[in-house]
Amino acid sequence: MDLFTEKRRAAFSRVEPLAVRMRPLTLDEFVGQQHFVGPGRLLRRLLDADRLASAVFYGPPGSGKTTLARIIAHHTSACFEELDAAGVGVKEVRDILARSRERLAADGRRTVLFLDEIHRFNRAQQDILLRDVENGLIILIGATTENPFFSVNAPLVSRSQIFQFEPLSAADVETLLRRALADRQRGLGNIRVDITDEAVRHLAETCDGDARRALAALEVAVLSQGGAADRPEPVRIDLAVAVESIQRKAIRYDGTGDEHYDAASALIKSMRGSDPDAAVYWLARMLEAGEDPRFIARRIAICAAEDVGNADPMALVVASAAAQVTLLVGMPECQLPLSQAAIYIATAPKSNASAVAVWTAAEDVRTGRTLPVPRHLRDAHYAGAARLGHGTGYAYAHDHEGGYVVQDYLGSPKTYYHPTDRGFEAVIAERLAGLRARSGDPPPAAGPQRPAGQRPAETP
């Protein structure tokens, strides 16, 4: 390395943020993702056997995707090439592929191409990589915060191992923070820092699993107080300084991506599962992250109809009122009726019998023979209807005792609605049983829970 290159590297290192300087250099230094990096786990086994093909790293920011890609390149002695998919085109990709071929032919050295934000490549750009990924010319590591099964070409996904990164735990982030405070070469070890355990915990928890954000806040806390190697007294970081340095908690949430759908699913399943505490937490998280409250109101209303149904008909009334008030007052006040509705639905008795009834009927409409409307039920309010026999023989229910008359309304013995014995639906079940007894019909068999192929209502 010549003197110019060395000076240049030193100049760049002086301006690198702490999070960049403290990136782990080996697998043993890497923190988190032990479900695939830990001893004996899949990625570790592939690396130890030098059998890693291409991979897609999928997970939230600050969870180690770029760092692990660099470690892999070093571990495999491969050449590391890095591109940001948001800022490059086809030409840059072709140039790297050409260099990779020349390198492999010259000294047998393979290339790791790290493609950050791979989901930002369009389909044509992703297709350029297919042949060289398949024949092993390059080890492609694509990083994305988007679900790759939706955002990356299916042929590319099929040729890659998918590794899902989880947010770092608070304990993992604490490890990284204390490592940065102690490291004299890359970290803040040359500066005397007196930091409380409470401050470290706050940074570790408030960063929400994003190590980069926690390390940036630590650096701000130290440098903003004149932290330097020649400072005679230590830099004092207590909870108040930590709070000021990291500011508002970062909430990972993409209004159109996985976080949006996963949080909505968690809210609905918590209400369905009768857990009001979980329901109100997911509701609060979505609102704090900026979710459209009208979307939440719609999910709550659907849950009231699908999962509570006639076990408590008031649930839909409460949900409907919450939706109307949400449109009327907006945020932040609409969180109150939304919370009331979510908690009401979570604590109400549950029945999906009315939902199953319409799903089953719709399945019959789609796949079975269409039933004609029985002649006695057809419209008779026009001249000539009687000549066609329409309406003939229809019995008006209010002219009979109890407002009920035995009459065929479907033209088929099919039973779709099977009320449960929960909440108000028990009353409905008892009434239906009495009506069927008067008509001489046998009790219906138990109905299906959900027709095959029916989409869950929580899918937005």
119 has pLDDT over 90: no
pLDDT of 67-112, one tens digit each?
898 888 777 777 888 888 877 878 888 888 888 888 888 888 888 8
Q: What is 351-379 written as a DSSP string?
A: --HHHHHHHHHHHHHHHSPPPPPPGGGS-
403-407 contacts at long range (C-beta below 8 A, 24 or more positions apart): 404/435, 404/438, 406/438, 406/439, 406/440, 407/376
Q: Report the CATH number at residue 203.
A: 1.10.8.60
- The residue out of 132, 164, 196 marking a domain boundary is 164
Q: Which element (helix H / strand E) includes 74?
A: helix 65-75
Any domain includes 394: no
Domain boundary among the residues 217, 246, 275 is at 246
Q: Are residues 220 and 197 in the same domain?
A: yes
Our count of domains for the chain comes to 3
Is residue 13 a part of any domain in this protein?
no
Q: What average pLDDT is seen over the chain?
A: 85
DSSP conformation letters of 76-93: TT-EEEEEETTS--HHHH
Residues 350, 269 within the same domain:
yes
For 282-336, how does the pLDDT look when each residue is reduced to its tens digit (9 = 90+)?
999 999 888 889 999 999 999 999 999 999 999 999 999 999 999 999 889 999 9
Answer yes or no: do 240 and 267 share one domain: no
Which among 114, 146, 164 is the end of a domain?
Answer: 164
The answer as to whether 381 is a domain residue is no
Regarding whether 146 and 83 lie in a shared domain, the answer is yes
The Cα–Cα gap between 337 and 379 comes to 43
426's tokens:
């028990």
Under a CB-based contact definition with an 8 Å cutoff, are residues 352 and 306 in contact?
yes
Within a domain: 27: no
Same domain, 276 and 299: yes
Model pLDDT for residues 337-394, shown as the tens digit of each residue = 999 999 999 999 999 999 999 999 999 998 988 889 999 989 888 888 888 889 888 9
261: nearest Cα among 63, 458, 57:
458
* Residue-level pLDDT at 455: 46
Enter the pTM of the model.
Answer: 0.63
Give me the pLDDT at residue 9, please. 52
Domain limits at 41?
A: 32-164
Position 403 pLDDT exceeds 80: yes
Q: Is 146 within a domain? A: yes
For residue 25, is it within any domain? no
Q: In terms of domains, do 453 and 358 share one?
A: yes
DSSP helix/strand/coil, 214: helix
